[in-house]
Structure 1
Amino acid sequence: MRRRDARKEREPTIALINIVFLMLIFFLVAGTIAPPLDTDLKLVRTADIDTSALSDALVVHENGDMTHKGKAVTSADNYIAPLKDEARATVRIIPDRNLPAETLVRIGRELRAAGAGRVLIVTERGL
């Protein structure tokens, strides 16, 4: 009788692959998937600011056009009017990188005049 060489036996890698695959599926299902922003939007870069883009934020494009959840918004009043009081307390704006600062300030002032408590600007985190 000959002894089997331990090096010739195959390792059970299939079990490891199955576990990794199940973990991948679990994290895909358990993770939250946020709706994507408009594809032509370029975010402003800042450093050391922790912000998150929310799906209920007001998106302001380079030419000053505003959208909310993919639908056009004609004015700050039209955006603020349907919001509940807790949503009006903090309003978030996601501006395009090439949006002029004067336009952003004007829209912020219009939002405050329409009833927004605080206006936050959501930006891309600087590296």
Structure 2
Amino acid sequence: MRRHHPRAEREPTIPLINIVFLMLIFFLVAGTLAVPLDKELRLVSTGDVEGAAPADALLLHADGRMTNRGTEVTSAGAFIEGLPENMRTRIRIVPDRDLPAASLVAQGRALREAGAESVVIVTERGLE
């Protein structure tokens, strides 16, 4: 009778290779889903453009004051009443970055109750 020598068990590498291959295929497919921009296209640079609030926007200051076109606004209802009929459906507000979120939500709710169909918050967008 021959003696059976136990073989050293090898690590199964085939499943690991399969997983790496599937990940490679996934990232190749996911990377080509987005259509690249035309190479001749030059995007607009807004780095040196000074931002200004839209003229019809309600400015909400950090201390709770509201202004429009440099004049003090006493309430959301007064602001809505001062607008022409065609501008009362979509109201734009520009909040100060230090304005508490609770005040922003309260003013948005007050504008909706005063008759605004939608309230849009105008913010600064930074692309880096």
Give the TM-score, by structure 2 length: 0.57
Which residue of 2 is the match for residue 41 of structure 1? Answer: none
Structure 1 equivalent of residue 55 of structure 2:
55
Task: Please name the residue that 1:111 is paired with.
Answer: 111
Q: CA deviation at 1:126?
A: 2.1
Counterpart residue type for residue 70 of structure 1: G
CA radius of gyration, larger in: 2
Residue 123 (str. 1) matches residue 123 (str. 2): yes
Gaps of 5+ in 1: 1-35, 38-52
Deviation at 1:84, TM superposition (A): 2.2
TM-score by length of 1: 0.58
Secondary structure of the residue aligned to 1:120 is strand
**Are 1:66 and 2:71 an aligned pair?**
no
Q: Any gaps of 5 or more consecutive residues in structure 2? A: 1-50
Q: In the comparison of the two structures, how many residue pairs are matched?
A: 77
- Cα distance per residue 1:14-55 (max 9 Å; x no partner): xxxxxxxxxxxxxxxxxxxxxx85xxxxxxxxxxxxxxx311
Higher RCO (CA < 8 A, seq sep 6+): 1
* Residue type of the alignment partner of 2:112: R
